[in-house]
Amino acid sequence: MLANYLIGLREGLEAALVVSILVAYLVKTDRRELLPRIWLGVGIAVAVALGFGFALFYGPRGLTFEAQEAIGGTLSIVAVGLVTWMIFWMARAARSLSGELRGQIDAAAEGSWWGLVLVAVLAVGREGLETALFLWSATEAVSRDSNATWQPLVGAGLGIATAVVLGYLLYRGAISINLSRFFTWTGAFLILVAAGVLSYGVHDLQEAGILPGLHRLAWDVSDTIDPTTWYATLLKGIFNFSPQTTVLEATVWFLYVVPVMTLFLLSARRRTVAPTKTPTSVS
């Protein structure tokens, strides 16, 4: 649940920051009459994300086991790719996000009426689709082993709710957050979560017969770590850790974590050393 809470919090805070910046800029430039276009775009983005999530959860149910595993494994790998891109992009763009969005607002406001709607749809919808895909991958991994589909969804819902509250408080100026530091710490944690999703996606493709080595185990600690215990469930829910891990799963996990984490920490270090000011509130 913790990993899904963090996913919901991070993605939700990105969307909340975007909406807060859009609304605050229109209010401060005395263009309140354009606010309904922003809210319309947000509503469309949320509806599309929910529809996408619904299709993911219920679409493959009537397929064969092999087809479900193939689709699940492929989408898990796609989700990892999107989340990895999001982690690096948001850590880099946290300082300049406000200025970029204000420029988009000015350009859209001078065009047709649907320009601002499209800005909001694209800005918020991206986070919504990424969240739906990544949560689906994480939920599939947990629910197949523990039949507890509700836990990841509750965790993500709580994270999104927290993000909405934080976004409102930032908009009102009640709190300030070092966004660069926040996205650096959460990004490093999500890299570990993404590695687990990637490993489980590979396992799905092995069960579908697309990748070999399903019965070649790197380790089997099921005698030591009982999958039914609370700590095994915790490890599974956060990192997708499996007591029985194939050689290919373990290899892919390390090949992802080592270079991605190294590049991410090096880029974070360069941003920390750079003499630039970090925005801490929406203005």
- Interatomic CA distance for residues 62 and 98, integer angstroms: 45
CA distances from 190 to 123, 185, 221 (A): 21, 9, 25
- In a domain, residue 241? The reply is yes
- In a domain, residue 91? The reply is yes
> Can you give the pLDDT at residue 282?
52
- In a domain, residue 283? The reply is no
- In a domain, residue 108? The reply is yes
**Tokens coding 176:** 């300030």
Q: Compute how many other C-beta atoms are within 10 angstroms of the C-beta atom of residue 98.
A: 20
Structure confidence by residue, pLDDT tens digits, 220-249:
888 887 767 767 766 776 677 788 889 999
- In a domain, residue 120? The reply is yes
**Largest separation between any pair of C-alpha atoms in the chain:** 66
Q: Give the domain range for residue 190.
A: 2-273
CA dihedral (175, 176, 180, 181) positive or negative: negative
Which residue is associated with the tokens 């600690």?
A: 221
Structure confidence by residue, pLDDT tens digits, 40-88:
999 999 999 889 888 887 776 667 888 888 988 898 898 888 889 888 8
- How many separate domains does the chain show? 1
**Tokens coding 152:** 């990841």
Q: Considering only 124-138, 147-161, 204-218, which range has the smallest mean pLDDT? A: 147-161
Structure confidence by residue, pLDDT tens digits, 196-229:
889 988 999 999 999 998 889 998 888 887 767 7
- In a domain, residue 50? The reply is yes
Closest C-alpha to 212, from 241, 246, 244: 246
In the chain, the percentage of residues whose pLDDT exceeds 90 is 17
Element (H, E) at 246: strand 244-246
Q: Considering only 95-104, 168-177, 197-206, 221-230, which range has the smallest mean pLDDT? A: 95-104
Confidence bin at 145 (pLDDT 50/70/90): low
- In a domain, residue 25? The reply is yes
- In a domain, residue 281? The reply is no
Most confident of 80-89, 129-138, 271-280: 80-89
**C-alpha distance across the termini of the chain, in Å:** 33
Residue type, position 160, single letter: I
- Interatomic CA distance for residues 144 and 92, integer angstroms: 36
Closest C-alpha to 198, from 116, 138, 266: 138
**Tokens coding 51:** 């529809």
Residue partners of 10: CB distance under 8 A and separation at least 6: 159, 163, 183, 186, 190
Closest C-alpha to 239, from 151, 145, 142: 142
Residue partners of 127: CB distance under 8 A and separation at least 6: 11, 12, 14, 15, 18, 86
